[in-house]
Structure 1
Amino acid sequence: MSAALHFDPIRLPPECEQLRHEVRAFLAEEAAGGTFDPHRPQSEDFDAPGFSRRVGARGWIGMTWPKTYGGHERSFLERYVVTEEMRVANAPTRRFFVADRQSGPVLLKYACERIKLDILPRICRGELCFAIGMSEPNSGSDLFAAKAKASRTDSGWRLNGTKVWTTSAHVADYMLGIFRTAPPTKENRRHGLTQFLIDMKAPGITVNPIGQMSGRHDFNEVVFDDVLLPEDHALGEIDGAWKQATSELAYERSGPERFLETHYVLTELVRALGPAPDVRGAEGVGRLVAQLHTMRRMSVSVAGMLQAGKEPVVEASIVKDIGTIWEQQLPHRVRTLSAFVEPDATNHETLSRQLDFAIRIAPKLTIQGGTTEVLRGIIARGLGLR
């Protein structure tokens, strides 16, 4: 059965533009106060609890959630604006972003009332960091090949196994992890997976860092050795978590963060070329900006679908696939276009430093949020091609 692809031509309403001015003013104040440097993209990598709490105090975490749980019942389009401005400014969003983007919505839908009343308000205040435990050694992004196990005990569950590429696990308070609770069946290899809420301070959890050529520390290997969980930390349907994970990834894969991670080199290129670039530079920048605008329109459209209560899994996968390839290739395109920039350009040193960093982080962009191969499998399935 094929699904028709549909990107509604959604425009951001006036209240979004007012919000954009508020977010920009806040970020300018934070940058001026030394919280972060917008011209040093690696600053986004560090953990900034104070900044997270100030963002929470502004009401910009859990924006779409019910007020009962600390949310603000605003629109997905308003949340889109906040995310876009945070990313463009290279703000340090590590502590709250995953919890806000995808973990919180999962808890809202599947957690018991006790957990929701306890954890969701703390996320909204910017106090909690979440990690996602899906990928495993020797299975990559093939979620259905998961071997890490959850076994029933008299009072709950026991976890054993390993998760890998777990972003921010070294600073996370909680993880939402997928574990095997039953073998897959011949008819359905998706059967047998269950999602759990895991306290990262629980005994038996070891977090091992995975280094990158950029020198950053985003990814981790997380080992579970007889980790005990209460019964109510199993989320949703036992053995049916693949449905939840698919829905969760629609939140993860469609936002502006999926094509803006190396955008800063384009901004610096425009500054370096100046107000009167030559034909070569003008044409190159024009093409890049047109591509960026197209991806942005698609991403805003997905935000509108989420606002309407839809689950645009295929459309979100397309945004992630196109966005990843674009942001990986962008530093190389910018380096080519900047080859003839005058060496005395005021931002020549900044552009060179940013290009070096962007090229070093480019390989990891394929891993986070699902590999290109997995994404294209999801798209092909949605189109009825497999």
Structure 2
Amino acid sequence: MIEPLACVALPPEDEALRAEVRAFLRERLRALPADARARSWMGFDADFSRALGARGWLGLTLPKAYGGSDRGAFARFVLAEELLNAGAPVGAHWIADRQSGPLIARYGSERQKRFYLPRICRGEAFFCIGMSEPGSGSDLASVRTRATRADGGWTLSGQKLWTTQAHRSHYMIALVRTSGTSEDRHRGLSQVIVDLSLPGVSVRPIEDLSGDQHFCEVFFDDVRLDDDALIGSEGEGWSQVTAELAFERSGPERIYSSIVVLDEWLLHLRATRRHDARHAHCAGRLLAHLGTLRAMSVAVTAQLARGASPVIEAALTKDLGTEFEQLVPTLVGDLLNDPDAPPPPAALVRALAYVTGMAPSFSLRGGTREILRGMIALGLGLR
């Protein structure tokens, strides 16, 4: 396992969590091969998530009054880094823990907090994100799914696309239009919590190139929602979802999607004693890139810990992190194709095949590269 670089120090009380998490993961993941670990935050294991919840490792940053641990953003950074570095199957709880829980804690009603947050912290409530829609591309402000006031509640109609783990989730937090039209852009958007077991909700998984089913289409056919399905204030959905995306774009998952391949390749080099210039140059390039990205991610976490909403900084971290994640399978794959090199372990080959197939999606999820660079340019005053 690649050690976190010592040049970026975390608070000692949070760094102390690392040893305990590693010991747990060594025992829990002992028999998990590299190609299974390469799936990590796309890997769905509800029992594993509940085991984390039993140890108090879900909802680390949420208030104790709602089942959380009242720890800071750096504690969650350490936990997330160790989980992803080890290739743990975190897909079941990931979205609920990373962004749905903090969003509800920040904007939700007291009833919403008391109902959802303890369940998230126990690993009993899994969430998905309802943002993307057909025909909208990366233009999130053009969403057309609509929630209309009706008899003390809401009627929801529309469709969401590329919704990760929707077929295995209990709830969706959806960005919807509650007034106006798509031409109104950011005005009139709100967020609602949708119980995916309600009548009128249909979920269709999409099979990807690897044969897995992570992404889904979700259809809402006049779904009846209670009045308290609304999160925060009506019409404030854009500002809320922007804050939510800062959680999604800044964490270790925007660095470590390919880390198992890199880790296993380095182990292969050590085992075969490959020390030629090409391999040394590649390893040095990737590790230098990784160290810089980690420092950036830690810096964004520091802003989150201060209560800021580092939207532009998170977008920059995500954009550069995606570049690194896609570079790893490309460079490693080229070197492993050397006919004069010792044959790599089968598990490394399978892990590389999986990550290579998934790598194009890294620059789509959480915001496309073009959208992120537009945001960065705007933040720098370049447009």
TM-score by length of 2: 0.93
The equivalent residue for 2:52 is 55
SS at match of 2:207: coil
1:309 aligned residue = 307
CA shift digits 1:74-107 (9 cap, x unpaired) = 1111110100111111111111110010000111
Query: What residue identity is the alignment partner of 2:150?
Result: T
Residue aligning to 1:383: 380
Cα 1:69/1:342, change in 2 over 3 Å: farther
Counterparts of residues 148-297 of structure 1 (less than 5 Å): 148-184=145-181, 189-274=185-270, 275=273, 277-297=275-295
> Which one of the candidate residues 67, 81, 102 is aligned to 2:99?
102
- Alpha-carbon spacing, 1:71–1:38, altered in 2? closer, same or farther (3 Å): farther
Pairing 1:90–2:117 present:
no
2:111 maps to 114
Pairs aligned (count):
374
Asked whether the equivalents of residues 109 and 232 of structure 2 are also in contact (C-alpha less than 8 Å), the reply is no
Q: Which residue of 1 aligns with 2:322?
A: 324
- Residue 354 of structure 1: how far off its partner (Å): 1.7
TM-score relative to the length of structure 1: 0.93
- Do the aligned residues in 1 keep the contact of 2:35 with 2:350 (CA within 8 Å)? no
Where does the alignment leave 5 or more consecutive residues of structure 1 unmatched? 1-8
* Aligned 8 A contact 2:34 2:351 in 1: no
Aligned AA for 1:159?
A: L
Q: What is the aligned partner in structure 1 of residue 3 from structure 2?
A: none
For 2:4, the equivalent position in structure 1 comes to none
Decide which moves more: 262-271 or 282-291.
Answer: 262-271
Contact conserved, 2:145 with 2:159, CA < 8 A, in 1? yes
Letter in 2 for 1:134: M
Deviation (angstroms), 1:115: 1.6
- SS for the counterpart of 2:376 is helix
CA distance in 2, matches of 1:216, 1:157: 34
1:196-244: per-residue Cα shift (whole Å, max 9, x none)? 0111111100001112111111100000000011111111121221000
Contact 2:142/2:182, CA 8 A, preserved across alignment: no
Structure 2 CA distance, aligned partners of 1:238 and 1:343?
A: 61
Q: CA deviation at 1:123?
A: 0.4
2:323 matches 1:339? no
Distance (Å, rounded) in 1 between the aligned partners of 2:28 and 2:64: 27
Task: State the distance in 1 between where 2:34 and 2:127 align.
Answer: 24
Q: 2:348 aligns with which of 332, 339, 351?
A: 351
What is the percentage of aligned positions where both structures have the same residue? Answer: 46
Contact 2:172 2:195 in 1 (8 A): yes
**2:156 corresponds to which letter in structure 1?**
L
Mapped to 2, the partners of 1:153 and 1:10 lie a distance apart of 53
Spell out, residue by residue over 1:306-353, the C-alpha distance to the aligned partner (whole angstroms, 9 max, x if none): 0111110000001111111221122011112333386545x4322222
In the aligned structure 2, how far is the partner of 1:185 from the partner of 1:356? 40
* Cα displacement (A) at 1:46: 3.9
Shift of 1:65: 1.1
Conserved 8 A contact 2:95-2:126: yes
- Partner deviation per Cα, 1:154-186 (whole Å, 9 max, x = no partner): 121000000001001000101000111112597
Once the two structures are superposed, the pairs formed by residues 108-147 of structure 1 within 5 Å of their partners are 108-147=105-144
Which SS does the other structure have where 1:61 is aligned? coil
Residues 94 and 129 of structure 1 are in contact (CA less than 8 Å); yes or no, is this contact kept in structure 2? no
